[in-house]
Structure 1
Amino acid sequence: MKRLLAVTLLASASIIAVDPALAQDKAADAENTADIIVTGSRVITNGNESPTPVTTLTTDALQASKPTTVYQALLEQPLIAGAKGGKLAGSTGQGGNNNSISSLNLRGLGGVRGLVLFDGKRVAPQNLNGEVDLAQIPQMLLQRVDLQTGGSSAVYGSDAIAGAVNFITNRKFNGIRFDGSFGVSTYGDYATYDFGAAYGHDLFEGRGHFEASVQYRNDPGLLRTDRDYIQEFGKTPWQLLGNGTSVPYFYSNIGFNNQATYGGRINRVSGPSSVFLNGVDIYKLDFRQNGVATQFVNGTLVTGSTELGGNGGQQTEIVSLGAKDNFLQTFGRFDYDLTDDVHFYLTGYWNRENQFNYLSNTRLYNAGATSGSTGGVLLTTQNAFLPDDIRAALQGAGVTTFRLGKIFTGANVDPMNTSYVNDNINVSTGLEGKLGTFNWDIGYSHSFNKQKNVSNNTFNTSRLLAALDSVLVNGTPTCRVLTQPQFAAQYAGCIPLNPFGPTATTKAQWDYIRQPTTYIGRTTQDSVSGGISGSPFETWAGPLNVALSGEWRRLGYSLYSEAEVANVTALDCAGLGIPNTTTSCVNGGTTSIWPNGSASRPPVSQRVVEGAIEADVPVLKDVPLAQDVRFNLAARHARYTSTGNVVITDPNVTRKFNATTWKVGLNWQVSDAIKIRATRSRDFRAPNLSELFLPGRTQALTGTTDYLTGAISGQSPAPNAPIVTMSQTIGGNPNVKPEVGYTTTVGVVLTPSPAFSLAIDYYNIKIKNAITTVDGSQVDIQQSCYASGGASPYCSLQERPLGFANKDPLTNAATKFYTATPLNIGELRTHGVDVEANFRTELGGQPLSIRALATYQPHLRSIQPGTKDTDAAGVSIPKLRIQASIRYNLTDTFRIDWTTRWRSHLLNVDPLLGLNVKDGYNYVKAVSYSNLNLSWKVTPAFETYLNVQNVFNQRPPVYTPLASGSPFASGAGVGGVGYYPADDAIGRYFIVGFRSKF
């Protein structure tokens, strides 16, 4: 606390106005141009003099393009690439994170590498992984959004490696405002509505001001089956098939798994390779009808168990295309001049967002096979629901166990889905004032975020295994565990599960194994900041402006979870093993629920004390070729103290690290028409509390190969030898250090006339010690370890009883653990060019404005020792992204806005991976989407509009990326997304609405 007081007494920040020429609409009310904050600096008093590129987007312009949410409009900006949320439903949500949140992603570097600001103040994260949900930002009184894309850690601190996004409110709003809209797609579905109100009024003869707003939005969500161009063949989505080596990759919408079906396919474990019943091999039987087995019809085998066509199973249709979402936002601000030189403010907002997302309608529990067998859950021939003729034939051939490749689906099996309820509270208060020629301020802010995630249809693993293992007792199906007195009490009420048929599992059976799992994550942020800024003296080229600022900040999080402590108390397998095989849970892993979930996380925290200095130094003024030359210099030092632990039963540990950042910027105004700007900065991102202290969980590995001994988990390495068991522990890493980024920008701004401006900026970003989650069981990670003889840092990601010299699969792989955890081992590199052009004129006596934004990003490389480099540019983000807009007032009351965005082509597979792709299957065509807005000012106080999004009803091209080449792929192998997330999968969409101000 002493450090806090010392830093606070020295520190400062100023609230200053920028030149309104940055705004796109000069016709904005005068009140909207007051108290504007310069993003990216604490000393520059004119945004045009900033050496760091800033793209300014007025709320009016964003709403004219897309009057839905500000976030969805931002997703169409070229600077944003690979962002999730918006209309895209996320893939998972367990463990306290929500992958459907509105998370921005500057340049595709990740949502955690861009800092989110609200009126220049840091916004607390919503997700436990450090991501900020922009849905919490109040929209009704937003004035503009600044996208600042140079490194800004020296000004703002951690997370600003890729830049900062600053949401700026109108602090001088007066009057009453009402907004409302209703939208529907050209297909008559996806009906949304939005309503908001705002009020502002001066108080105490102008010394005070109060404003407040409330807004409600309802979005019903959309399923993939609602759009036939997303999913065109029955229940099966597009997939990328093949293996890239013997079978080149290609995409298809008729790919099936020939080992697992909706009714269940009987697969071999051991014994005779074929067992015949009425002339048909039992190992080719499929229960397409409840309790009735018919011959399985194979399609064309592609690779492994994947085939084209046939009777196999795959993911079904109930998957969200867009998550159901509704939110309520409230905002308020009070300002008061205590004296002529001291100003008080109090501002706050609360919002609640409720989302619902179908993740999958398939409940595949496909355990790994032993050597020579195929996959599925392991059952005995004593199973109570197995037809008698099949039981007799198998037992007659000496077969005691078999596997059933089963996908749980049907009328009685609920789809896998997750609901999210997010509550956010933010309160800030402080004083601002003048001390002679200096400005000072001191403030306090508190944020509290509560995110409740309920995974509604996970499996209770132990109940599932108990229910699957049934026997007949006096002719009645009974769970085997109930016949064992020592386990009868533990599994009292066990209902045996019938898996033989697409709808054979009854609702009662399903409800017994179903475990709705609740996760409640809480994040808090408290900060005290302050500082002083001003000009201590004049130079020959103008005033020297200096700012000292400081902040104390504490971030904390905790997680309540109904999942058990997986890495401390593994699933109790007693009584659940199939007789005469092994004492382990042959059908499942070591976690209590499936899919796996995070255990509860007692509170952990991170405290930060930091101080910064920034100076705007004039060098030349009004000399030939130097109308104005100045340097922008900044430096910051931060001290981080993190307290917590990964193994939550162990005592907390405290980790400390320092971070020093700096920035040097040049602003060279050659003439009225030419300006040159450049920056060089050292930035950082501190590890978030999830990366440091995510509670570990342990899960079984099935079919994983140990490349030192050749052993395969789930298989016996020799006749009569024990089955090899391997597990994986996933969790945080308290020893992770900050990432360090180096950013260079060089640009020129041309303004040949007041009507036209052109800005061209080159950027180069290198991030070292990038925090990357590394899985020790992956092939390349294992092989890097073994090649080093045990010296590689990757060797710490596995626990081997006898070291790395012993290659005996019988003794050195029986109790093997791998670890997946964050490491400072990666490097990210990207560079490119940003272009912004603005033109204003009059046509027929009415104003006409044109704006174009473009980003060319030829590379976004990820480099990690021991693995192949990848380049996401052209794979998970388009290399070239363009947006152009035209605004024209046909009359004084009628206006037209047209916006078109275009992206370059994409690839499904990263060429750097060296994998083979069939001709024509790696190319995802370029595409554009256009929006039209017609607005009519009925009276000076009332405006109505019609907005048409995706005017030409452009369909999204098929896009099915390989997981290692894109963050959008599902699963560990290949993706089934079907379209690029930034493409428009909804189709043509109509919105009618009104805006009024009195």
Structure 2
Amino acid sequence: MILGAALFAVPATAQDVAAQASTEEASVDEGSIVVTGSRIARPDLEVSSPVRVLGREEITLRAPTTAEELLRDLPSARPNLGPGVNNGSDGSSSIDLRGIGPNRTLVLLDGRRIVPFGLDGITDLNTIPIALVDRVDVVTGGASSVYGADAVAGVVNFVTKRDFTGIDLSANYRITERGDAAAYQADLVTGASFDDGRGNAVLAFGYTKSDPLNQDSRSFGVAALNTVDGQPQGSQTAVPAFLLGPVLPGVTNNGLGYVINPTTGAFQTATSQDLYNFNPDNLYQTPLERYNIYGSARYEISDAIEMYSTAMFTSNKVSILSAASGTFTNPYFLPLSNPYLPDAARNQLCSAISLSAAQCTAADNATSATDPNYREVPVTLARRFVEYGPRFQSVDTTQFQIQAGLRGKVTEGINFDVSAQFGETNQNQTRENWGSYSRVQQSLRSFNTTTCSNTANGCVPINLFGPAGSITPSMLGFIDLDSYIRRTVQQTVVTGSINGDLFGATSPLTDSPIAFSIGAEYRKLTAESNPDGSARIQSEVLGTGARTPQDFGTYNVKEAFGELIVPLITDTPFFYNLTLEAGIRYSDYSTTGTSTTWKAGGSWEPVEGFKFCGMYQRAVRSPNIQELFQSPVTGLSSLAVDPCQSTLPVGNAALSALCVATGAPAASIGSIPSPSANQINATTSGNPNLDVERARTITLGAVFAPRFVPGLSITVDYFDIRVTDAITTPAQGDILNGCYSTSLNPTLTFNSFCALIGRNPINGSLNGAGETLGVVLASSNLGIIDTSGVDLSINYRIPVGEGALSFGFNGTYLDHYTFQATPNAITRDCTGYYSTNCTNPRPEYKWNLRTTYSNGPVRASVLWRHISGVDIEPAAQTPRPPLTTPQTGGPNPATVFDAYESIPAYNYFDLALGADVADNLELNLLVSNLFDKQPPIVGSGAGGTAFNNGNTFPTTYDVLGRSYTISARLKF
């Protein structure tokens, strides 16, 4: 049962769910409730999989503006995409149960699938009408045989209010103590019953808006910090421009490159003071504006048949802000006759390509590309277009879904449900102030300040060598490029099932009949990405870090499923209840063929209030459209230190040779630039030859609700999930360490890992456009994911005076999480670590403890959120055979600032106060992060690009600081 709005533990019954469901507007028909984790609707039965329930009271206390805010702190979940992700965001929010990937968590609305957001099949939580949600069921033990193979880690089911009557108007407003990051939400729900209660209709409208929060709005985000030394750092795409290649004879290169001396016009050694601070124009909170409409209706055609339908429409706009665009580390061909190139710098470039003084002068005086003295130098020239202002990226998404069905009784004990649904997501992504690579190249090919070599399209020569302001509006006007991407996802689902008593059959030792469910389902999913011409070309849109290919994919699946719950013994000494449970699902995918998913388990309650349960499940997940059909894309990943940068390979002939073998020019050894802004290229792609992945899930639990301690319930659940033939890509550390580390490659010879590295042909770095693939992260079925741990839930409610005091504890202990990408890679242990390989922190302990006192119309509640301490993944050691042995492969500790090598345990406290000030008016105040706890600082290269943002991990730790939310709810 829900105690004091805390999470309660199960196995859950339909009676439990009915008891905690909203009863303010209408009664609940227990026989209509299907507990998440089973398709059998019978109130006396219990499921053996662990289920957690967030009731309406808990939702009210947390005052979330989106479903992602409600779920991100669940101990069983790992934060994923959401408003705390800026670089790397696609505009969606998602949940990752057990941390094995959001593509292995299924999100449902009233037990039905929701049309996905993108080609990866993941549901956008921004589409959930949170005001209409009565409770959230979270199955954390896998549910593939019941709902489909993508429920490997579990299911999150948002259950809406049923038979709502009246008007419910709610609103909340959040503001931080510093007066920023405001968020607004207003919702109107109306409902009415008709024809003497045979029918009911509900219509809900919602509006949500959250403001952006720039990183320089917080002291810890004013400047990017280097994970190596803790000092301010920035991007080599700066003003004045950085020259990152070729190597200039006689000028020291410390790994940063060269910049022009404004007095002499010559290139000189760059320093950290020359780097560009990109933090101010990046975001800790991405702004969201959302409109949603939801409607549902049902009507009893007869005593045995009910017709029902639902429809939802959501319009989301997420705006992503980034620092000003620039040439970044793309390669260009620079004519020595360029009018803006200072003479001293020209002479240095001539020396770099071995031109004599006379040849250099002749090249400077060339007046056309056909002049025999015309010469171009391949350069990596990084200039920030500060004159442009920040880059904008808006993601406008509309999603609609309609469903209609019939349900009712076949006989007194057998029910049926047949439905069909169709949904579509349309996403329009617009990028402004980014610029065109090809037009910059065209503008560089000029011989005077007014005319380009190619004048066909009104080319304006550009000055990349001057200070801020030297790029004029007309120059920007020529290179300006707005880029558009449209993505469309369509989903069709037709399903039918019959459930109830198995013709009255019972075990000899009980009067409870065997319950069953059988059914069939057809699903079709189609997804496509249609970018404009510029977005399809690698690096044509400056600053994207990746092209967007035109991709299309579709598949369909036909499934049949069945489920049995068999009460064996009831009301017998030492067998108050003994029940077996089994289920099976047979699938036929158009892409991967046939597969079977099944489960078997049961529960034993020796005496009332003491129960033991367990479930063994086998799941088979077919690859999604992105995993199968995505074209190769070169994007960005985080790296603090490149093994070939600067002087690292100097004096090590084998390492130097390996750097050259992986694409670095021989002349660049000793001066290869360090990763630009702690980022390198990473190339990913789908694999049409992928097959299914297979998962084994074990859950064992115990529930203690002793009658002699009224109000107390304790649940302990052990989980063990192992995914084999996993669809994965290697961690970049697997590849870089496997090639350049003597512990993994003792002789430093070219091997299979080295073949997956492609360096910049101009300067040898892992940055740049064109041929620079960086680290190639190829998809395969060669991975293994393994995780286990224990969930603990304790709820206790005691009377205190005229009121009641309740405690609700929900925690997870992570025993281990390991990942092996291929048989040639180590089995990486990420338990309690963070790194560019393990990405955001994976704490061993995470818990929530809510304490609530209520007395009539007044209530006060404190939520304690705990995240245990984590460390950076320890350095790579000599592999311990066999490679299936869990081990770490993190960065060299000498390359990590001491203060950034660990994060202590974090404790957050939230205070909620509420009162029913009138029969129909409720007011609440929430103070989040009560003690204004600041996030840990780890620099900008300690974790993955998407999650290590603004020197910290904003999806894991609070960056807003103390904030206040005022909520009001008016009911009629």
Distance in 2 between residues matched to 1:597 and 1:538, nearest whole Å: 61
Q: Which residue identity does 1:901 align to in structure 2?
A: R
Change (3 A) 1:641 1:938: same
Q: Quote the Cα distance in structure 1 between the aligned partners of 2:77 and 2:348.
A: 62
Report which stretch shifted further, 917-926 or 940-949: 917-926
Give the C-alpha shift of residue 122 in structure 1: 1.4
The correspondence for 2:849, drawn from 884, 891, 903, is 884
Residue 668 (1) aligns with residue 626 (2):
no
Shift of residue 915, structure 1, vs aligned partner: 3.5
**Residue 512 (1) aligns with residue 478 (2):** yes
Q: Deviations over 1:101-151 (max 9, x none)?
A: 110111211111101111011122102222210111112221100110011
SS at match of 1:680: strand
Q: Which residue of 2 aligns with 1:384?
A: 339
Alignment of 1:549-948 (within 5 A): 549-563=519-533, 595-599=544-548, 601=550, 603-642=552-591, 656-697=592-633, 710-713=660-663, 715=665, 730-753=684-707, 754-774=710-730, 778-779=735-736, 820-864=777-821, 865-875=823-833, 876-890=841-855, 892-910=856-874, 912-913=888-889, 915-917=891-893, 919-948=898-927
- Equivalent position SS for 1:188: coil
Alignment partner of 2:571: what SS?
strand
Deviation for aligned residue 1:693:
0.9
Query: Between Structure 1 and Structure 2, how many residues are aligned?
Result: 867
Q: Which amino acid aligns with 1:54?
A: V
Q: What amino acid sits opposite 1:429 in the alignment?
A: A
Q: What is the CA deviation profile of residues 663-687 of structure 1, one whole-angstrom value per residue up to 9, with x for unaligned ones?
A: 0121111111210011110013221
Q: Could you tell me which residue of structure 2 aligns to residue 987 of structure 1?
A: 961
Indicate how the Cα distance of structure 1 residues 129 and 394 shifts in structure 2: closer, same or farther if over 3 A, else same: closer
Paired with 2:349 and 2:899, the residues of 1 have a C-alpha distance of 47
One-letter code aligned to 1:943: E
The question of whether the paired residues in 2 share the 8 Å contact of 1:286 and 1:296 is answered with yes
1:405 to partner: Cα distance: 4.8
Distance 1:270 1:873, change over 3 A: closer
Matched residue, 2:650: none
Cα offset, 1:710, TM superposition: 4.3
- 1:68 corresponds in structure 2 to 65
1:180-191 pair list within 5 angstroms? 180-191=171-182
Q: Equivalent residue of 2:126, what SS?
A: helix
Amino acid at match of 1:856: Y
Matched, 1:526 2:492: yes
Distance 2:945 2:575 in 1: 46
Which residue of structure 2 aligns with residue 9 of structure 1? none
Alignment map for 1:157-176 (pairs within 5 Å): 157-176=148-167
- Deviation, 1:230, is 3.0
Correspondence for 1:469: 445
Q: Is the 8 A contact 1:37 1:119 kept in 2?
A: no
Determine the C-alpha separation between the residues in 2 that align with 1:255 and 1:388: 30
Contact 2:106 2:150 in 1 (8 A): yes
In 1, Cα distance between the equivalents of 2:342 and 2:658? 44
Letter of the 2:693 counterpart: E
Change (3 A) 1:320 1:626: same
Letter in 1 for 2:406: L
CA distance in 1, matches of 2:282, 2:873: 24
8 Å CA contact retained: 2:127, 2:314: yes
Residue matched to 1:113: 104
CA contact (8 A) 1:129 1:689 kept: yes
Q: How does 1:472-491 map to 2 (within 5 A)?
A: 472=448, 476-479=449-452, 481-482=453-454, 488-489=455-456, 491=457
Distance 1:284 1:695 in 2: 36
Q: Secondary structure, in 3 states, of the residue corresponding to 1:187?
A: coil
Aligned residues of 1:908 and 1:961 also touching (Cα < 8 A): no
Q: 1:208 to 1:129 in 2, by over 3 A?
A: same
Query: Shift of the alpha carbon at 1:843?
Result: 1.0
1:59 aligns with 2:56: yes
Aligned to 1:344: 307
Deviation at 1:471, TM superposition (A): 2.2
CA–CA distance in structure 1, aligned partners of residues 241 and 619 of structure 2? 54
AA aligned to 1:848 is: L
CA distance in 2, matches of 1:855, 1:524: 36
Q: Give 1:598 shift.
A: 4.4
Q: Give the root-mean-square deviation of aligned CA atoms.
A: 3.7
Output the amino acid matched with 1:151. G
Q: Distance in 2 between matches of 1:272 and 1:707?
A: 21
Contact 1:66 1:931 (8 Å CA) reproduced: no
Label 1:843 to 1:493 Cα distance change in 2 as closer, same or farther (>3 A): same
Alignment of 1:129-148 (within 5 A): 129-148=120-139
Q: Distance in 2 between matches of 1:914 and 1:598?
A: 29
**1:582 — aligned with what?**
none
Indicate which of 269, 275, 298 corresponds to 2:246. 269
Normalising by structure 2, what TM-score?
Answer: 0.82
Deviations 1:939-975, CA, capped at 9 Å, x for gaps = 1111112221111111111134766x657556xxxx7
SS at match of 1:31: coil
Q: Residue deviations 1:335-381, cap 9 Å, x none?
A: 0001100000011110101110113345352247xxxxxxxx56344
Q: In structure 2, what is the Cα distance between the partners aligned to 1:555 and 1:786?
A: 44
Which sits farther off after the overlay, 876-885 or 39-48? 39-48
Offset of 1:783 from its aligned partner?
8.9
* TM-score, length of structure 1 as denominator length: 0.80
Change (3 A) 1:967 1:509: closer
Q: For the residues of structure 1 that align with 2:123 and 2:16, how far apart are their CA atoms?
A: 29
Change (3 A) 1:930 1:708: closer
Secondary structure class of the residue paired with 1:752: coil
| Correspondence 1:19 to 2:10 | no
Q: What displacement does 1:450 show?
A: 0.7
* C-alpha separation in 2, matches of 1:270 and 1:70: 52
Structure 1: give runs of 5+ residues left out of the alignment.
1-15, 242-249, 276-282, 300-308, 369-376, 483-487, 572-588, 643-655, 720-726, 800-813
C-alpha deviation, 1:787, in angstroms: 12
Cα distance in 1 for partners of 2:114, 2:346 equals 63
Structure 2 runs not aligned, ≥5 long: 1-11, 364-376, 646-654, 670-680, 759-770, 834-840, 876-887
Contact kept? 2:921, 2:970, Cα under 8 Å: yes
Pair 268,224 (structure 1): closer, same or farther in 2 beyond 3 Å: closer
Deviation sequence 1:573-616 (CA, Å, 0-9, x none): xxxxxxxxxxxxxxxx6767653544553642110000011000
Q: Among residues 183, 192, 211, which one is paired with 2:202 in the alignment?
A: 211
Contact 2:305 2:406 survives alignment (8 Å):
yes
1:863-892 Cα shifts (integer Å, max 9, x gaps): 1222233233312221111101122223x2
Give per-residue Cα distances to partners, 1:33-80, cap 9 Å, x unaligned.
754330001226348722101000013212212343333022122112
Letter in 2 for 1:510: L
Q: Are 2:636 and 2:945, in contact at CA under 8 Å, matched by a contact in 1?
A: no
Secondary structure class of the residue paired with 1:112: helix
- Partners of 1:943 and 1:700 in 2: how far apart? 48
CA distance in 2, matches of 1:677, 1:310: 62
Q: Residues 638 and 393 from structure 1, CA distance in 2 versus in 1: closer, same or farther, beyond 3 angstroms?
A: closer
Name the aligned partner's letter for residue 496 of structure 1: I
Deviation of residue 21 (structure 1)?
6.0
The amino acid of 2:66's aligned partner reads T
Taking the aligned partners of 1:838 and 1:273, their CA distance within structure 2 comes to 72
| Residues 849 and 494 (structure 1), Cα distance of their counterparts in 2 relative to 1, 3 Å cut | same
- Secondary structure in 2 matching 1:692: helix
